[in-house]
Amino acid sequence: MKLEDILKQRSGNKCELCQSDNNVKPYEVGPQDRYNEQNTIMMCAKCDAQIQKKEDIDSKHWSCLTTSMWSEVPGVQVTTWRMLNRLRNESWAMESIDMMYMDDDQLAWAKATGDHDNDNNVDLHKDANGAVLYTGDTIVLTKSLDVKGTSLNAKMGTVVKNIRLVPDNTEQIEGKIEGQTIVILTKYVRKQGA
């Protein structure tokens, strides 16, 4: 039997954290040399996006951890422990951490990524109004910008289509203006349609 089939059977094809049956797929709880049914869990898209810091943390959604913390699956316990620690400013999360039991090996595994030390802040590309930007979005300049190294002046109100996010800097995006690819600061753009 394939690993995914084993996981679907074990979970009832539901997220093993929040019990959602919406867009559920296997999630490998790292770090591991080899993935198996003990360190791979079924997870919904919402849980995955928040764990991967691609979406702001919704603490109400994570109240499900008070149930998943009792799972007998090591991967579920480790993921639950990491998320509870990211939510440690919530009183219910701290109480759950205090009640949760993990053996020494599981605790070492849970701490291995350092993710539990992170707060629940998410680094997202956001425009001047706080709207989240995604690759492929269309933006409008909110300020006229001189482009360094060229005579190009990008006027306020210029529409830039199909932007790309700069991976390591949430304050920058890339876009084409008059055929030139330039780096634009997110504080000078507004997402079109937002």
The string of pLDDT tens digits covering residues 64-88 is 999 999 999 999 999 999 999 999 8
Q: What is the model's pLDDT at position 115? A: 66
CATH 2.30.30.40 maps onto the chain at 139-191
pLDDT band of 27, cuts 50, 70, 90: very high
pTM here? 0.65
Q: What is the model's pLDDT at position 63? A: 94
DSSP 9: H
Question: For the chain, what is the mean pLDDT?
Answer: 89
Nearest to 18 by CA among 70, 84, 62: 62
Instruction: Tell me the three state secondary structure of residue 66.
Output: helix
Phi, psi (deg, nearest 5) at residue 85: -70, -35
Alpha helices in the chain (DSSP H): 3-11, 45-51, 65-68, 74-86, 91-99, 104-111
Q: Point out which residues pair with 174 in neighbouring strands.
A: 164, 183
Instruction: Tell me the three state secondary structure of residue 63.
Output: helix
pLDDT-above-90 percentage for the chain: 58
The CATH class that applies to domain 139-191 reads mainly beta
The string of pLDDT tens digits covering residues 29-54 is 999 888 999 999 999 999 999 998 88
Instruction: Tell me the three state secondary structure of residue 183.
Output: strand
Cα 52–chain centre separation: 3
Question: Is the preceding peptide bond at 31 cis, omega within 30 degrees of 0?
Answer: yes
Rounded Cα gap, residues 161 and 134, in angstroms: 11
Contact, 177 vs 152, CB < 8 A? yes
> Is the pLDDT at 194 greater than 80, yes or no?
no
Q: What is the model's pLDDT at position 119? A: 55
DSSP string of 35-60?
Answer: --TTTEEEE-HHHHHHHTTSS---TT
Q: What is the model's pLDDT at position 135? A: 87
